[in-house]
Amino acid sequence: MKKYTLLAALTLCLGVLSSTYTQAQTTNNNTIYACYHKTTGDLRKVSGPGQCKNTEIQTSWNTAGVPGPQGPKGDKGEKGEPGETPNLAGVLSRLNALETASAGLPALEARVTLLESLVNPLAYVSYAFGSNVLVINTTSNTVVANVTVGSQPSGLAVNPSRTRVYVANSESDTVSVINTMTNAVVATINVGDLPERVAINPSGTRAYVTNAASDNVSVINTMTNTLLATVNVGHSPTAVAVNSSGTRVFVANLFGNSISVIDTATNTVVNTINLVDSPMDMAINSSGTRVYVAIRDTNISVIDTATNTVVATVNLYNPVAVAVNPSGARVYVASLGGGNVSVIDTATNTVVATVAVGFAPTAMAVNPSGTRVYVANLNSNDISVIATVTNTVVATIGVGSRPIGIAVR
């Protein structure tokens, strides 16, 4: 069988998209259609839907936004803002990491999942008192699957190749592994007591799970879905993040008022960063130079990872969830009591916008292209979708009772 790599498949995808986009502009057809061969990986453009063979998967791209509103007295309104297309800029630079992260997985699975995630990103939502994860198509903002996992799922994490979602089941003391192609659980891994959050290293080979009641972190080998090590940390660890090189893991200890820093080569704590109060959540930027920590009731503490010291604070009311965009230029902070999301400019560490969302926002995720922020609102039972260009809510998705975690593939 002819072999293909992720780079070859995506390069072909880029070529088809470029040539077809020119044709689409000429014919006023804003949708590009293509057929992806299930076996060989070949991608061919077609003129419309319904032309793929049984051996192929149909994909499509929308290249234009919704037309603008009608002008006064019948005049033509302004052209609508262009719709989202696959995040092609920067994709090639991520392929080396994706190739590594896909090691040990079927090549076709990795290629199809990557292409599908570029066209139709999925959001995975967990529930505080449930035993399921809801899957949302973020293009149409509709529910496409409901996956049964363990009891009381909390934090979720997507691996770099976007083929797996890891779900911490707080009541079951397990981690469920979801195959994103089939949206089915393919493994269940026993961890510590009351697992809260999960983080994946850049190569996708390790998952780090915080166990709040046993005061430790479970280290999972994702190639074998087995427990590799257990690392003792501070009191009641919750949030967890891995730096861009995969050499350090940062663990927020809720009742220890501290951050434990783990050396991934030895799986030992090599530093403890003391904080003024309880860390509720945290996120690390893509370069791995800054960790942003939500301190209960008071502020966002900015940690320099080179010195493991707090170098700045941003005062905010009741911050509980943090997310950083892919470029690292913006940090999004959810206020549980305020019912809003603050947008921080990381160059100045100042708030540049405040966006009203639902009631009791508790978790957030930024999509891979950085164009949308998805906010899980615990008390209004919905997801607020924020457009990052305008910092406005552009959609609200009802998802059922008590959404508490969210991740975007």
If you average pLDDT over residues 157-175, what whole number do you get? 95
For residue 83, the model assigns a pLDDT of 46
Q: Is the pLDDT of residue 278 over 50?
A: yes
Q: How confident is the model at residue 30 (pLDDT cuts 50, 70, 90)?
A: low
Q: How confident is the model at residue 208 (pLDDT cuts 50, 70, 90)?
A: very high
Q: Which helix (H) or strand (E) holds 107?
A: helix 107-119
pLDDT digits (tens, 9 = 90+) for 217-228: 999 999 999 999
Question: 59-63, 209-213, 239-243, 385-389 — which is least confidently predicted?
Answer: 59-63
For residue 65, the model assigns a pLDDT of 47
Residue 35's nearest CA partner among 27, 46, 25, 24 is 46
Do 198 and 175 touch, CB atoms closer than 8 A? Answer: yes
Q: Is the pLDDT of residue 293 over 70?
A: yes
Looking from the CA of 370 toward its CB, the CA atoms found within 13 Å total 15
If you average pLDDT over residues 66-70, what whole number do you get? 51
**What's the distance, CA 193 to chain centroid?**
25
Residue 336's nearest CA partner among 370, 285, 391, 298 is 298
Question: 54-63, 142-151, 152-161, 296-305 — which is least confidently predicted?
Answer: 54-63
Share the mean pLDDT of the chain: 82
Neighbours of 20 (CB within 10 A): 20
For residue 88, the model assigns a pLDDT of 42
If you average pLDDT over residues 205-210, what whole number do you get? 98
* pTM beyond 0.85, yes or no: no
Looking from the CA of 317 toward its CB, the CA atoms found within 13 Å total 9
Cα separation, 160 vs 201, in Å, equals 8
Radius of gyration of the chain (CA): 21
Q: What are phi and psi of 281, to 5 degrees?
A: -160, 170
Each domain of the chain, given as residue ranges in start order, spans 6-114, 120-408
Higher pLDDT, 375 or 64: 375
Percent of the residues in the chain that have a pLDDT greater than 70, as a whole number: 73
Three-class SS state of 151: coil
pLDDT digits (tens, 9 = 90+) for 370-409: 999 999 999 999 999 999 999 999 999 999 889 999 999 8
Three-class SS state of 108: helix
- CATH class, domain 120-408, is mainly beta
Q: How confident is the model at residue 61 (pLDDT cuts 50, 70, 90)?
A: low
Q: Residue 143 corresponds to which tokens in the numbers above? A: 């529910």
